[in-house]
Amino acid sequence: MATARILVIDDESLMRDYVQEALSRAGYDVEAAANGKDGIETMRQRSFDVVITDLKMAPMDGLEVLRKVADDSPDTCCIVMTAYGTIETAVGALKAGADDYILKPFAPDELEVAVTRALERRQLAQENRYLRAEINQRYDFGSMVGESPAIRQVYEQIKKVANSRATILIRGESGTGKELVARAIHFSGARRDRPFIKVNCAALSAGLLESELFGHEKGSFTGAHERKVGRFELADTGTLLLDEVSEISLELQPKLLRALQEREFERVGGTRTISVDTRIIGTSNRNLEDAVHRNTFREDLFFRLNVIPIHLPALRDRREDIPALADFFLKRYASENGRDATGFSPQALALFQDYPWPGNIRELSNAVERAVVMSSGPVLGVDLFSLTGGRPKTINGNAVSVAMGATVAEMERELIMRTLEHCSQNRTQAAKVLDISVRTLRNKLKEYGAADDGDGE
């Protein structure tokens, strides 16, 4: 990551040198100017991530500096230094465009915290501008493809909940587009211009996830060298997506429950209660009712998450949408890869309709992208798709069979247990065969009540 560039503007040389030295020691690229006019001229010659300016200067005071920075470089964050710590002074600075203010005298670590917060806000603003620019291409309501009754019901739910503050739980198999629906809800509602923040609950340990969600104070644990603002706080006035919320540990679930109920929390190691107006969207590909029954997920947390449930159908349950989805991906990947592919052969389309698509839309997307890249003509033939049609999953030629009428969950369990048996209980090898992570395999075995004998490596 590039070193942040900071401009310090202060007509007092001692303060100017103090701030420049403190931030240089912290690893920032710092320049200084002795007055507002010189500072604005320096900004017009070079770009800066943050401007730190004194308020009381002549002939150009800090408020005028803020207005010129806003006009010339709206992406630059501004922090005001002032010894006049009245409410009126702070409000005036914030109205003029300051992102934060700091009262003289201050310690170096206070200054560093203010700069860190400013840079985080700047990055967040840039990310959200990028996301808004991408709305029409990928994330808006219109980019969701399909007209089947099952998906049209989802469209209607999105319209109804987009402007609400209620917590939403989106459920469906992996690859059905849960994150896309979450983004459609956010970007088609009143919060579209506010932050959209995502956290993958399955990717982090309980300790790391708590810090990621709620933040932490400097020194709260080994390695906490500075204050960290959590995702709940960053998503204030916007939307927080808790992806795979079912993977949150039982130890962390009570704290999440309180944050959902009260919209308030404390950072790890902190005592100040932080209140936010954050709309929560959770996603899960697991049966949460079963998790509640097995005491691996709190019932009260489930009810708090499941205020507005949205179920996404599997691709095999909306087969009439497959041609439109395939065409959508074809156009995207042909454009991205500079190919002249324009359609599919009748045999390829027939294969699409026969294939069960266990990986759902994600698998279809990957299959079309691979075919487009490998194609040499406008029509993608069946030879470009390495799909197995409706044949059962095999392990070294041995089919995994289940009784007619078995549920998807039962078929999944049989496949996993048979694969483990074939791999002599080696979980790493079995995960590779199943094309899932060892963590996911371990979680599945925990669902089934299988003994945890380690990874079996």
What pLDDT does residue 258 have? 95
Let me know: does 50 contact 78? Beta carbons within 8 Å.
Answer: yes
d(CA 36, CA 46): 15
Confidence of residue 392 (pLDDT cuts 50, 70, 90): very low
Q: Say how far apart CA 432 and CA 429 lie, in whole Å.
A: 5
Cis omega (within 30 of 0) on the bond before 59?
Answer: yes
Q: Which domains does the chain have, with CATH numbers?
A: 5-122 (3.40.50.2300), 140-311 (3.40.50.300), 316-384 (1.10.8.60), 394-448 (1.10.10.60)
Look at residue 137 in the predicted model and tell me its pLDDT: 45
The tokens of 286 are what? 């697991």
**Residue 436: what pLDDT?**
85
Among 120-129, 183-192, 395-404, the range of highest mean pLDDT: 183-192
The pLDDT score that the predictor gives to residue 87 is 61
Q: Where are the alpha helices (DSSP H) in 30-76?
A: 36-45, 62-72
Q: Which of 99-113, 158-172, 264-278, 434-448 has the lowest mean pLDDT?
A: 434-448
- In this predicted structure, the answer to whether residue 2 has a pLDDT above a threshold of 70 is no
Q: How high is the pLDDT of residue 391?
A: 42
pLDDT tens-digit series, residues 46-84: 889 999 999 888 889 888 999 898 888 888 899 998 876
- Neighbouring C-beta atoms of residue 19, cutoff 10 Å: 25
Supply 289's token pair. 């009712």
Contact (Cβ atoms closer than 8 angstroms) between residue 23 and residue 37: no
Question: How far does the chain reach from its first CA to its final CA, in angstroms?
Answer: 37
User: How far is C-alpha 265 from the geometric centre of its chain's CA atoms?
Assistant: 20
Strand order through the sheet with 168-171: 196-200, 239-243, 279-284, 168-171, 308-311
pTM (global) more than 0.85:
no
C-beta of residue 210 within 8 angstroms of C-beta of residue 230: no
Report the percent of the chain where pLDDT is more than 70: 88
The pLDDT score that the predictor gives to residue 415 is 83
CB 242 within 8 A of CB 301: no
Q: What is the pLDDT of residues 13-29, one digit of tens each?
A: 999 999 999 999 999 99
